[in-house]
Amino acid sequence: MGLKASKAFFSGFMNSIFKAPMIFFDSTPVGRILTRASSDLSVLDFNIPFSILFVVAAGVELLVTIGIMTLVTRRVLIEYYIATARELIRISGTTKAPVMNYTAETSLGVVTIRAFNMVDSFFQNYLKLVDTDAVLFFHSNGVMEWVVLRIEAIQNVTIHRCSSPCFKFMNIPPEPPSIVEDNKPPSSWPSKGSIELKELKIRYRPNAPLVLKGITCTFNEGTKVGVVGRTGSGKRALISALFRLVEPVSGRILIDQLDICSMGLKDLRLKLSIIPQEPTHFRGSVRTNLDPLGLYADDEIWKVNQSTL
């Protein structure tokens, strides 16, 4: 059961991460994601199954104990009282000593006891001493179970608090659909590459201030445009909006007269290219890095490599 729960949780975790919008990775450090996927998920793999086993065992033990006490004497359910562990240990020492002394003295005087026919009387006295010690032994174990039950409850609460951040990662709002059948662009799109922004407003998070405040402009096809501004002026937000890494609050973005916000992300991003400031080299060959989707033949890849030399 624990293995199935762990597999289902990990699958939901990875599915949520893969479908998360790019803005999530901008605001969430990679180290935090790796921590949730490794150490926090290990809590589900190892600690929770053992905790479930302990809870079940404690529950069964509690039911059996209550059943036995109810059958033996119902007064225990009403008059049950647990003293402090320290006092019980101290009192337990005072009750064990008479039992041991009485046993030793009886064994030494067994001949005399039998001669005077006092076996039953000494045996009854011995049972009283044993019962007195057994009462303390019963309460000592009751105190121990009382402590263990609360420690296990604290442990379960701690494990729950460790696993709750993982559940947050399973509820990340996904990106818009990759393909929208009703708004698929033509295969030749974009043929020119003109970009038009109309009253575009962008914010990174729902309660954050606007980064782009109703910008309206047109970039003609075939032109080279440089966007200049201070830190935080919205240069990065403009690029993020073109790739829909951040969804616009309002306004429209038209590329060759088609609204990119109404089409699928895959149809949009396959038609655009970007050169990042910090390039990332993925594991694998040079070919897989140049053409990760396998859309081009080997000779085309070689031509691109030779043209850059």
Place of tokens 């036995």: 68
Residue 57 DSSP class: H
Model pLDDT, residue 174: 80
Nearest to 201 by CA among 239, 237, 226, 225: 237
Q: Rounded to an integer, what distance in angstroms lies between the CA atom of residue 26 and that of residue 262? A: 24
Only one residue has tokens 């929770």, namely 48
Q: What is the pLDDT of residue 119?
A: 78
Say if CB 15 and CB 8 are below 8 A apart. Answer: no
Per-residue pLDDT tens, the chain, 309 aa: give them: 666 767 777 787 778 888 787 777 777 777 777 777 776 666 666 666 677 777 777 777 777 776 666 555 545 444 444 445 556 666 666 666 677 777 777 777 777 777 778 878 878 887 887 787 777 777 777 777 776 776 677 767 766 666 666 677 777 778 888 888 888 888 888 888 888 989 998 888 888 888 888 888 888 888 888 888 888 788 888 888 888 888 888 888 998 888 888 888 888 888 888 887 777 788 888 888 888 888 888 888 888 888 877
Quote the CA–CA distance of 185 and 265 in Å, as a whole number.
11
CA-closest candidate to residue 225, choices 194, 246, 256, 253: 194
Nearest to 51 by CA among 155, 192, 203: 155
pLDDT at 43: 67
pLDDT digits (tens, 9 = 90+) for 122-146: 788 878 877 877 777 777 777 777 7
Residue 207's nearest CA partner among 27, 32, 19 is 27
**CA dihedral of 81, 87, 89, 94, whole degrees rounded to 10:** -100
Residues 263 and 176 sit within 8 Å (Cβ to Cβ): no
116/228 Cα distance (integer angstroms): 115
261, 272 Cβ separation under 8 angstroms: no
Q: What is the pLDDT of residues 140-150, one digit of tens each?
A: 777 777 767 76
Q: Which residues contact 2 (CB under 8 A, 6 or more apart)?
A: 44, 45, 48, 49, 52
How many whole angstroms separate alpha carbon 218 and alpha carbon 202?
17
Domains, the chain: 2-170 (no CATH), 181-274 (3.40.50.300), 285-309 (no CATH)
- Which amino acid is present at 301? I
Q: What span, in angstroms and rounded, lies between the C-alpha atoms of 26 and 100?
A: 73
> In degrees, to the nearest 5, what angle opens at C-alpha 225 toward C-alphas 224 and 227?
155
Count of residues making up the chain: 309
